[in-house]
């Protein structure tokens, strides 16, 4: 499935959220030209290159241009004039300095679908604030929900807000292209990390505004539900058990041959289980210690009870389900020049799972190629490279 194979995308983003959005488009066939500063995307070396290697696949091409030079800005504007989609992640006001803002570009490319992806959006008191994923986790209230009540909040250990924002942007860009096909008109899209994270907190916001109760951290579990947390099987092997109603609890009790627990006065309703959750946790962990984790999770799944092993990353990489489904793909870390595996596109279609390509682009790898496609001759390209307006191939 390559619905965007005739779509040219100009990627003016760094970090994670923007590259995620253009990676989705590239995965579905788009021709993505990633413009980087001469020193490269600031995240190229983060986590020894692993971050860049996981969000810049999908047949992207890299061009290095120095926006501080007139020649660099001119080349970028020429790319923008021919693009179907432009995604930028500069702080508000910066692209205007380069003549790459929506108003400037739409004057010469009136049907462009343009997305500004920022921390806080194009207006409001925080507009100028810089932001990264953990800052937004904190400000949105998400971090306040993570951890134990008697300990400080903690961040989620992955860039979930970046990925959520990038995915949202990709969906909106696809919608903008569909709208353009329908009406012939372009579109401007303002999407930001803060509002995406706030949307994810929607049901907690609704709960607070309806009850006046500020939600508290509940550790591994979910407020009001029990048993709903990490338990341990034999060998202290951890797994997560999520019992969300009385029916699931009855199934759990049958599976571990403790049916009497389902009619015990302390545990017969979810409200009582939550009230007596410490006592219930102790009883269940004693029972679970008699089971092999893999066998127990399989038995619970067969009984229709949501449960699964708590995996470390090494266990995820070796997970047979992910391997059989092709959910991991071979790639290459261009920063360390080592082969790696990373996540495949999280979906498949009629023709299977889309290809991501075997590696992300090296810094400025396609500078000459793309400038030549714009009509620059070898002499002009050499002059730009010598002057530092364009970056050399790595």
Which residues are known to be catalytic? 162
- Where are the extended beta strands (E) located within the chain? 8-12, 31-36, 61-64, 85-88, 113-118, 187-192, 228-232, 238-242, 307-309, 328-333, 338-343
What does DSSP say about strands 228-232 and 187-192: parallel, antiparallel, or unpaired?
Answer: unpaired
HSE at residue 114, side-chain half, CA atoms within 13 A, is 21
Distances in Å between the Cα of 357 and the Cα atoms of 15, 29, 268 are 20, 11, 53
Residue 365 tokens, joined: 């790898």
- Measured between alpha carbons, how far is 359 from 153 in angstroms, rounded to an integer? 36
> How far apart (Å, rounded) are the C-alpha atoms in residues 287 and 319?
26
Q: Find the Cα–Cα–Cα–Cα dihedral 100, 101, 105, 107, rounded to 10°.
A: -140
Q: Residue 122 and residue 128: Cα distance in Å, rounded?
A: 9
Residue 86 and residue 161 in contact, taking contact as beta carbons nearer than 8 Å: no
Query: Based on C-alpha coordinates, what's the Rg of the chain?
Result: 25
- Sole residue written with tokens 């400037």: 104
Cα separation, 234 vs 73, in Å, equals 63
- Close Cβ partners of 76 (under 8 Å, ≥ 6 residues apart): 10, 12, 35, 65, 67, 98, 100
- Tell me the CA end-to-end span of the chain in Å, nearest whole number: 32
Closest CA to 174 of 346, 353, 355, 25: 25
For 350, the 3-state DSSP assignment is coil
């Amino acid at each position: 499935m390559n619905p965007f194979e005739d779509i040219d995308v100009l990627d003016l983003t760094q970090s994670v959220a923007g590259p995620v959005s253009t990676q989705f488009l590239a995965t579905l066939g788009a021709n993505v030209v990633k413009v980087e500063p001469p020193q490269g995307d600031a995240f190229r070396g983060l986590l020894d290159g692993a971050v860049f290697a996981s969000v810049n696949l999908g047949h992207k091409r890299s061009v290095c241009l120095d926006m501080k030079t007139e020649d660099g800005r001119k080349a970028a504007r020429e790319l923008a004039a021919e693009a179907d989609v432009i995604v930028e992640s500069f702080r508000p006001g910066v692209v205007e300095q380069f003549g790459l803002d929506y108003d400037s570009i739409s004057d010469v490319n009136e049907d462009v679908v343009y997305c500004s992806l920022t921390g806080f959006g194009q207006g409001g008191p925080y507009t100028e604030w810089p932001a990264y994923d953990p800052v937004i986790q904190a400000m949105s209230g998400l971090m306040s929900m993570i951890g134990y009540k008697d300990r400080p909040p903690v961040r989620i250990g992955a860039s979930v807000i970046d990925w959520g924002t990038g995915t949202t942007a990709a969906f909106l860009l696809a919608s903008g292209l569909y709208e353009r096909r329908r009406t012939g008109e372009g579109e401007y899209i303002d999407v930001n990390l803060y509002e995406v994270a706030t949307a994810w907190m929607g049901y907690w916001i609704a709960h607070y505004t309806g009850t006046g109760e500020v939600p508290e951290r509940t550790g591994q579990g979910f407020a009001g539900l029990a048993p709903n947390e990490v338990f341990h099987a034999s060998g202290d092997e951890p797994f997560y058990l999520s019992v969300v109603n009385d029916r699931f609890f009855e199934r759990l009790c049958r599976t571990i041959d403790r049916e009497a627990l389902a009619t015990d006065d302390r545990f017969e309703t979810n409200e009582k289980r939550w009230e007596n959750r410490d006592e219930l946790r102790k009883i269940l962990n004693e029972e679970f210690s008699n089971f092999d984790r893999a066998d127990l999770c399989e038995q619970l799944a067969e009984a229709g009870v949501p449960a699964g092993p708590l995996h470390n990353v090494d266990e995820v990489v070796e997970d047979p389900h992910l391997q059989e489904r092709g959910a991991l793909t071979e790639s290459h870390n261009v920063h360390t020049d080592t082969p790696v595996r990373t996540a495949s596109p999280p979906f498949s279609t009629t023709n299977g799972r889309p290809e991501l390509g075997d590696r992300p682009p090296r810094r400025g790898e396609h500078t000459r190629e793309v400038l030549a496609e714009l009509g620059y001759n070898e002499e002009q390209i050499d002059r730009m490279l010598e002057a530092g307006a364009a970056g050399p191939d790595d």
